[in-house]
């Protein structure tokens, strides 16, 4: 009765695994889905999730939001959780942790709250873990390239270190390349266009 169907859409394997286990132990049924699929629409229809948890930065968020409005034949399967929750604190924590969620219309708010709190805690923990891991994993030469690219981006963009790293990470995802390769091409482009701006 209390068991909810949770669909996790995320491309960070460690985070997915940890969050899946945590939600399992709360007694929920969890289905995982990698975001790089063109069949997300069908997947959501098939799994009938009570709640969808998705990386805030995933382009699939717009797809999920479209599903609830696009076709009148589609019974609104999910809504952005803020629509019902009216809980700005949880929303704000979620956005800062980089997690967003969609829930089926009419689900009781208190049941969602526990799941959201768990997801927020795991996303928060993961971002500090990821920074550590990134440091440990990257070879020294690679790290130098990444640091240099980060430095150049910070100077060019006037942004902080976290944001520069985010930019590199997004570029790597967009291009399907490894981080050091993207870092090198950022250095090349910015050096080439040095003096172009300003």
Partner 1 sequence: MSAPLTLEKNNLKLGFVALLDCAPLVVAREKGFFKRHGLDVVLCKESSWASIRDKVSFGLYDGAHMLAPMPLASTLGLNGNKTPMMTALALSQNGTAITLSEEFHTLLSKTIDNWEDDKLVGEQFKKQVKSSSVKPVMATVYPYSNHYYQLRYWLEQHGIDAEHDVQLIAVPPTQMIPSLSNGAIDGYCVGEPWNSLALIQKIGGLLTTGHKIWGAHTEKVLGVTQEWAAAYPNTHQALVKALYEACQWVEDINNKEELYQLLALPPYLDQAATTLSDYTPPLAMKQHFAGKQVNVPDPKQGEFILSQMLDCGQLSDADNPADFAIISRTVYRQDLFQKWVS
Q: Which residue stretch of 26-34, 45-53, 58-66, 136-144 sits at the interface with partner 1 (rule: CB under 8 A)?
A: 58-66
The continuous run of DSSP H or E covering 127 comes out as helix 109-137
Q: Under the criterion CB under 8 A, does residue 34 sit at the interface with partner 1?
A: no
Per DSSP, the three-state class of 7 is: strand
What pairing do the DSSP bridges indicate for beta strands 5-9 and 51-55? parallel
DSSP 41-108: HHHHHHH--SEEEEETT-THHHHHHHHTTS-TTS----EETHHHH--HHHHHHHHHHTEEEEE-TT--
| Residue 170 binds to partner 1 (criterion: CB under 8 A) | yes
CB-nearer residue toward partner 1: 18 or 35: 35
Q: How far is CA 109 from CA 38, 64, 103, in A?
A: 31, 20, 10
Task: Give phi and psi for 100, each to the nearest 5.
Answer: -130, 165
Task: Give the contact letters, 84-103, x = binds to partner 1 (CB under 8 A), - = no.
Answer: ----x--xx--xx---x---
62 binds partner 1 (CB under 8 A): yes
Indicate which single residue of 8, 19, 51, 68 sits in contact with partner 1 (rule: CB under 8 A): 68
Can you tell me which of 2, 25, 72, 132 binds partner 1, judged by CB under 8 A?
72
Mark 130-169 with x for binding to partner 1 (rule: CB under 8 A) and - for no binding.
-----------------------x--xxxx---x---x--
Q: If phi over 0 gives left and psi between -120 and 50 gives alpha, with beta otherwise, what is residue 86?
A: left
Residue 168 C-beta: closest distance to partner 1, Å: 8
CA separation for the pair 13, 11 (Å, rounded): 6
Provide the binding-site residues for partner 1, judged by CB under 8 A.
Answer: 38, 41, 56-63, 65-73, 79-80, 82-83, 88, 91-92, 95-96, 100, 153, 156-159, 163, 167, 170-171, 174-175, 185-186, 189-190, 193, 196-198
């Amino acid at each position: 009765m209390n068991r909810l169907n949770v669909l996790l859409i995320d491309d960070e394997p460690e985070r997915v695994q940890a969050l899946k286990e945590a939600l399992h132990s709360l007694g929920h049924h969890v289905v995982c889905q990698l975001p790089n699929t063109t069949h997300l629409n069908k997947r959501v229809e098939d799994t009938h999730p009570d709640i969808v948890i998705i990386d805030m930065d995933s382009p699939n968020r717009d797809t999920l939001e479209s599903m609830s409005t696009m076709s009148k034949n589609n019974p609104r399967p999910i809504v952005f959780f803020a629509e019902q929750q009216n809980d700005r604190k949880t929303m704000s924590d979620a956005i800062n942790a980089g997690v967003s969620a969609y829930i089926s219309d009419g689900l009781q708010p208190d049941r969602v709250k526990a799941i959201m709190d768990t997801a927020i805690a795991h996303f928060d923990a993961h971002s500090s873990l990821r920074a550590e891991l990134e440091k440990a994993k990257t070879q020294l030469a690679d790290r130098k390239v990444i640091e240099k690219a980060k430095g150049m981006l910070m100077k060019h963009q006037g942004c902080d270190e976290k944001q520069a790293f985010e930019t590199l990470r997004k570029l790597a995802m967009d291009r399907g390349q490894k981080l050091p390769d993207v870092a090198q091409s950022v250095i090349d482009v910015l050096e080439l266009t040095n003096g172009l701006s300003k």
